[in-house]
Amino acid sequence: MHRTKVKVVEDALDANHTIANANRADFDRAGVTVVNFMSAPGAGKTTLLERTLTGLEGVRAGVLEGDVQGSMDADRLAALHVPVTQINTDPSFGGECHLDANMVRSALPEIVLDDLDLLVIENVGNLVCPAEFKVGEDARVMVTSITEGEDKPLKYPLMFRTCELVLVNKIDLLPHLEYDLDRLLTNLDAVHPGVPRMLVSARTGEGIEPWREWLVAKASRAGVPA
Amino acid sequence: MHRTKVKVVEDALDANHTIANANRADFDRAGVTVVNFMSAPGAGKTTLLERTLTGLEGVRAGVLEGDVQGSMDADRLAALHVPVTQINTDPSFGGECHLDANMVRSALPEIVLDDLDLLVIENVGNLVCPAEFKVGEDARVMVTSITEGEDKPLKYPLMFRTCELVLVNKIDLLPHLEYDLDRLLTNLDAVHPGVPRMLVSARTGEGIEPWREWLVAKASRAGVPA
């Protein structure tokens, strides 16, 4: 039974990969840089985007919002006049715990790619499956909040290993926690040596500027041959 | 394709249900109360168990620990001389994001049920899929940390709806956050009206005693006809 299960999963990941490539081709054609933005529930993805997306010099940014149910995060971002498209992952059971390439593909007709330079795909809050499913992104960024503890890179290694930037959020709470930031960074380097990391506070705005600059630089490289 | 996918999921849940019933029969035979303990990553499940399991009057408690990789949480609990069994969910890809009935069943030969009154199954940190898969538990308890925000019941309704106790953890941080506890409780009642809830701090020990008493009462009811 277990062997069958692994085969089913492998087939699903293969099919996903094919659709992710089709998404990627569409994004490339339109010159849109796509960031797959991931974290555990409540790590602060939406607040980080609220802090960032309105002040991106010369970059037209949009968001594709993934949630099991509802559109609360999408509504928050739409209030800032950022174009937002919502995907809900709950067709008939408890809901999917991640976005896959096909869900993103099914949302593409609603997104005017030619009007965008940057599309941030805010994934479902989860540290496991979102890392397994490519959606056609150029880059993966993940957020770890210091309130989650220093051990998370070791417990969810694929997520921390497959991203190219880690935002360490809620650092304004450092004085109120027994949090060992050095231990987090050591754990991070153990699973993904040298991965770029930024210490940020979505609440106070501390450290937000480098993250904004990172997004602008990413978006500016779209269409430029590597 | 979508219809096929839903069918596959339904079949998987049916198969899971059958195995969950077999687990349940084994637990009943041994007179063990089983609690499925769930939350987002870093909400404080292990720390809550550290605070609780050593002081359970007259109740022999054990833990079945579910993680994608590693045994850090199991090691923490084993240090308290609580019998712990580890399940890792990462056979060949990124890892399963939840425990299912078959994983629990495969661990049962390593657990001496006759030596236990209470088995706490600490699920993988995730607010979606763990709620979809019964493992043979008597009760589900979930933890929501106030650092995750007040909106989580609305965003992950199945998890909050299918548990019979909600622990609201990290309340020692209330003075340092703009957290609206009333809004959380309103959201909780919107998806699961009147569900019992306890405000706790695993860090300071505040509110831990009622949670300990809840576990003792649960364990004492095992084997007693309803």
Assess contact for B147 and A145: CB atoms under 8 A. Answer: yes
B1 located within any domain: no
B6 located within any domain: no
Q: What is the mean pLDDT of chain B?
A: 92
Q: Determine contact: A9 vs chain B, CB below 8 A.
A: yes
Size of interface A-B (CB pairs under 8 A): 124
Residues 117-156 of B with CB under 8 A from A: 124-129, 131-132, 145, 147-149, 151-152, 154-156
Question: Lowest mean pLDDT: which of A56-60, A156-160, B53-57, B165-169?
Answer: B53-57
B181 located within any domain: yes
Query: Using 50, 70 and 90 to split pLDDT, how confident is the model at A91?
Result: low
A8 located within any domain: no
| pLDDT of B127 above 60 | yes
| pLDDT of A1 above 50 | no
A142 located within any domain: yes
Q: Determine contact: A110 vs chain B, CB below 8 A.
A: no
Q: Sign of torsion, CA B7 B25 B36 B119?
A: negative
Question: What is the ipTM score, two decimals?
Answer: 0.91
B110 located within any domain: yes
> Residue B5: its pLDDT value, please?
60
Domain residues for the domain of A211 are 14-220
Assess contact for B35 and B119: CB atoms under 8 A. Answer: yes
User: Structurally, how many domains does chain B consist of?
Assistant: 1
Question: Lowest mean pLDDT: which of A9-18, A69-78, A132-141, B16-25?
Answer: A9-18
Query: Using 50, 70 and 90 to split pLDDT, how confident is the model at A225?
Result: very low
Farthest CA pair distance, chain B? 54
Q: CATH number for the domain including B50? A: 3.40.50.300
B154 located within any domain: yes
The H or E element containing residue A47 is helix A45-52
- B89-125 as b/e: b if 16+ CB within 10 A: beeeebbbbbbbbbbbbebbeebebeebbbbbbbbbb
Which whole number is the average pLDDT over A181-207? 98
A38 located within any domain: yes
